[in-house]
A = this chain, B = another copy of it.
Amino acid sequence: MPDSEYRDIRKLDLFSQMADAHFTALMRGAYVQNFPAQIELITEGEPSDFLHIVLSGSVDLFSAWNGRDTSMATVRPISTFILAATIKDAPYLMSARTLEKSRIALIPSQDVRAIFDADSNFARAIVTELAQCYRSVIKSQKDLKLRTSLERLANYLLRQQKRAGGRAVFELDFEKRRLASVLGTTPENLSRAFKGLQPYGVTVTGSRITIGNQGDLERFAKPNPLIDDFSM
């Protein structure tokens, strides 16, 4: 593994406080691999052999049942995924596929569990990470249960605008059909939802969004930190 990546991983909240020896031990069994776009990295139901870390690119976590499927979340560098399955030594609940060319580090789950038992700083970091993950899903569950698809889109746009720097014009960061799935709707309805936001000053050109009237959109969307602020 290149030294720069080694250091990048070390800097993650999850690993930054652990003992050197333990981090080195973890990395010894780890390996890094490049994947092309649209590769299925893991499949739900399989045993969780590796903790994954996205070093570059991006990964879609999705799930299927009875012929349907849905995007659950997107993982961006640099962060881990399927930590809970690794810790519990339980099957993956979600599948994962690369959205673009991606570089992924793989750490054997049994190593993670072993070091977790030996290093209490690491254990503490895992707690913080899991608590964060848990709260994120709760927020997204509230978004789904309390809002219509139009409201979900409006709030998504406000969140994405913020992530992209806060300007009135910004880019969607993934395809509309995946956005539709993330928002729990269909591509057709997403398209109509964009139209439905025109009265609030939202203009769409391809993946470029313009928020013509911030106040109008916010009054409609009613963003709430207990749903939309993923940093807390």
Interface residues of A (CB under 8 A from B): 44-45, 63-66, 68-70, 72, 83-85, 87-88, 90-91, 93-94, 116-117, 120, 123-124, 126-128, 130-135, 137-142, 144-147, 151, 184, 222, 224, 226-227, 232
Tell me the bound Cα distance from A226 to B138 in angstroms.
Answer: 18
Query: Which of chain B's residues have a CB closer than 8 A to the CB of A135?
Result: 84-85, 88, 90, 93
Q: Judging by beta carbons under 8 Å apart, are A137 and B137 in contact?
A: yes
* Dominant secondary structure of chain A at its interface with chain B: helix
For this complex, 10 residue pairs linking A to B, each with C-beta atoms less than 8 Å apart, are A44-B226, A65-B146, A84-B130, A84-B134, A88-B132, A88-B135, A116-B127, A120-B123, A130-B134, A141-B141
Tell me the bound Cα distance from A138 to B137 in angstroms.
Answer: 7
Tell me the bound Cα distance from A88 to B130 in angstroms.
Answer: 10
Given contacts A69-B146, A70-B145, 7 further A-B contacts (CB under 8 A): A70-B142, A87-B128, A88-B128, A116-B127, A117-B124, A123-B127, A130-B134
Partner pick for A134 among B66, B134, B139, CB 8 A cutoff: B134
| Chain B: CB-nearest residue to A86 | B131
Q: Judging by beta carbons under 8 Å apart, are A65 and B116 in contact?
A: no
Query: Which of chain B's residues have a CB closer than 8 A to the CB of A128?
Result: 87-88
Query: Which of chain B's residues have a CB closer than 8 A to the CB of A137?
Result: 134, 137-138, 141
Q: Judging by beta carbons under 8 Å apart, are A131 and B84 in contact?
A: yes
Tell me the bound Cα distance from A94 to B207 in angstroms.
Answer: 34
Query: Which of chain B's residues have a CB closer than 8 A to the CB of A134?
Result: 84, 130, 133-134, 137
Closest A-B pairs by Cβ, 9 of them: A120-B120, A84-B131, A130-B130, A65-B146, A70-B145, A137-B137, A134-B134, A84-B134, A123-B123
Nearest Cβ distance between residue A57 and chain B, in whole angstroms? 23
Q: Judging by beta carbons under 8 Å apart, are B140 and A141 in contact?
A: yes
Query: Which of chain B's residues have a CB closer than 8 A to the CB of A83?
Result: 131
